[in-house]
Amino acid sequence: MYEERLKKKGEESAAKTQHIAGWRYMLFWLLSVILRLWGATLRFKITPENRRLISKSDIPTVVIIWHNWLFVASEIIRRYRYHRLMYGLISASSDGAWLAAFLSFAGLKAIRGSSSYRAVMATRELVNQIKAGNDIAITPDGPRGPCYRFKPGAALIARQAKSPVLLITGKFHNAWRMKSWDRFHLPKPFSIVEFHCRYYDNVPKKMTNDEAAEFLGNSLKEITIDSIE
């Protein structure tokens, strides 16, 4: 009886998680090729120290990046972290399905869930990937914001992972801004993207989860150069 209930819950979870398939996937594949060529034209401005941090691969790491930087996330993986397998927490919604498909072409594996759906299970899966020797990626203000609000869930995952934390953000020198909740950055072709990073060996155990979220959030905001009104 118990096994039947678990099986039913699993089927319900699978039904709620949106995926792209069939002709939509093929159409998106063509679009992803265009986006990948677009991303390849971007010029990255990065100091030697930040390059060292963003390329550091000797230990599994929690990579944290704002939601409106996801367009360049695929280029970060391709250019600097291609030698490591990375898993990302992506919403189970239809919007998340498109994002999961796009990032999959860059090599990022999706774990579907959010604070309102599969939260506990998704957190456990992410932490298990760190233990298995892989990187994990988190957008701390996703999937619905508010923009630049570092949510406690992201801090909880970083603390439970007990691994180094790499914060990545910076400045777009020339980009369109979408009218979404996060004012998504869409860098113009051949424009410059400036990267700033911070690296922590771990999140201090003495901090509460809320304190850890505030600490990491403030640190990420300090190296973010933006003008959201």
Summarised one tens digit per residue, pLDDT across range 86-145 is 998 877 766 667 777 777 766 788 887 765 556 788 888 999 999 999 999 999 998 888
Please compute Rg for the chain using Cα positions. 17
Task: Establish if 160 belongs to a structural domain.
Answer: yes
Q: What is the pLDDT of residues 157-198, one digit of tens each?
A: 889 988 999 999 999 999 999 999 999 999 999 999 999 999
Q: What is the pLDDT of residues 215-229, one digit of tens each?
A: 999 999 999 998 654
Task: Establish if 227 belongs to a structural domain.
Answer: no
Residue 63 pairs in a beta bridge with 137, 166
Contacting residues for 90 by C-beta, under 8 A, at least 6 apart: 96, 99, 100, 103, 110, 111, 112, 143
Buried (b) or exposed (e) across 65-96, using 16+ Cβ within 10 A?
bbbbbbbbbbbbbebbbeebbbbbbbbbbeeb
What is the rounded distance in angstroms from the CA atom of residue 197 to the CA atom of residue 170?
8
Task: Establish if 78 belongs to a structural domain.
Answer: yes
Question: In total, how many domains does the chain have?
Answer: 1
Max mean pLDDT among 11-15, 19-23, 46-50 falls in 46-50
What is the rounded distance in angstroms from the CA atom of residue 96 to the CA atom of residue 106?
16
Q: Say if residue 204 is preceded by a cis peptide, omega within 30 of 0.
A: no
Which token pair is 56? 């550091």
Of 75 and 1, more confident: 75
Where in the sequence is the domain holding 36, given as residue range(s)? 2-222
Cα distances (angstroms) measured from residue 9 to each of 2, 14, 23, 174: 11, 9, 29, 46
pLDDT at 6: 33
Q: In the block, which residue shows the tokens 């971007």?
A: 42
Task: Establish if 229 belongs to a structural domain.
Answer: no
